[in-house]
Amino acid sequence: MTAPVDDTAPDAASRPFREAVIDLDAIARNVRTIAQRVAPAEVMAVVKADAYGHGAVEAARAALAGGATRLGVADLDEAFALRSSGIDAPILAWLHDPDADFARAVAADVELGISNLAQLERAASALQGGPARVHLKIDTGLSRNGVPEEDWAAAVARAAELEREGRLVVVGVFSHFANTSRDVDAAQRAAFERALAAAAEAGLRPATRHLASSEQAIRDAQARYDVVRIGIGMYGLTPFGDGTTCTDLGLTPAMTLRTRVAAVRRVTAGTGASYAHIWHADRATTLALVPLGYADGIPRHASGGGAEVLLAGARRPVVGRVAMDQFIVDVGDDRVEAGDEVVVFGDPATGAPTADEWAEAAGTIGYEIVTRIGPRVARTYTGGGPQGAEPRRDPA
């Protein structure tokens, strides 16, 4: 639960030791930028996994303010949390425990992603003042959940029968790209078209056909259909692995991860630093201790990978092994003191590294970097309309 805080003090000491600042206006702008690009398709803002670490309720509200018309989550508990916060926009949940409470979902007006006949029957039995609203998912090649193409005709026939009986409403048909290659994307889109044709032949008329996530929504107009699901793009990171940056896409990273220098040490040439001494100083230099580690989501795999932080007006290299609670940066002969602000990643317009750059250093993707930020890191929210003029803090 966020609460107003007094953030007017001029010194950094008034802030949490470890902090992720979430710019809700950036989320709204990113959604608006993508919505304009994909129109007339609607935007479903994906806020699963606590909105990729940004805070689901706050991010959902910002996305809706930016023009999203729907919300997407993985499981029902995530959907119920949004409903409990007062959010009444359409919500789709698509990954279900075998014993998930579909009756509660129908009562809360949560739309259900359906991936097999058993789920379909359970949804049809969950009448709670009205029928379940479902989106039928077809597996077009990701080989996770979703009805296999060979079972699709039977699934849509049964769904049409249940719809005629008034036991459910098929409001959507969807699938998910594997993000493999243009040829594989084209094959998946063709499979999706076959699924839509079979659904129509069975008598279904879903109003929300959706296939594209951020990557295809931005680059493939043919994949947009009625709705696009926007996840990483709304948080201002790139969905592409080809060197395209958030700046290239007109997007602004919403999360700034920052802390303060915990200690400073002058060392001589040859001095080893951190576990296993994978790094030794090649000259006399100053090391600054940053109190964030893999317990907070800093990837240990970034050790020696070229990761940097913004400190004292310049980018500084991370040296030595990232530990559970801390890592070290080399500041050379520049003056740095305990208490100086360290920006681990954020908006590149400020000179900070991006989460995508940290991902490259760790051999992973930006999605993982922001989503894994741990509970010791307080979230502070800025922006978000008139009510966001005062920063609001969610204590760690």
Confirm if 262 and 290 have CB atoms less than 8 A apart: yes
- Quick check: is 275 catalytic? yes
| Catalytic site residue from 48, 225, 235, 381 | 48
Angle CA(338)–CA(351)–CA(53) in degrees, nearest 5?
A: 80
Confirm if 261 and 288 have CB atoms less than 8 A apart: yes
DSSP per position, 69-92: -EEEESSHHHHHHHHHTT--S-EE
Ligand-binding annotation for 144, yes or no, is yes
Which residues are registered as beta bridge partners of 208?
Answer: 172
Q: How far apart are CA 287 and CA 296, in angstroms?
A: 21
Which residues are registered as beta bridge partners of 394?
Answer: 379
**Nearest Cα residue to 302 out of 323, 316, 286, 285:** 323
Q: How far apart are CA 134 and CA 169, in angstroms?
A: 6
| Catalytic site residue from 52, 225, 275, 294 | 275
CB atoms within 10 A of CB 82: 22
- Quick check: is 48 catalytic? yes
Residue numbers in the known binding site are: 144, 324
Catalytic residues: 48, 275
Binding positions for substrate: 144, 324
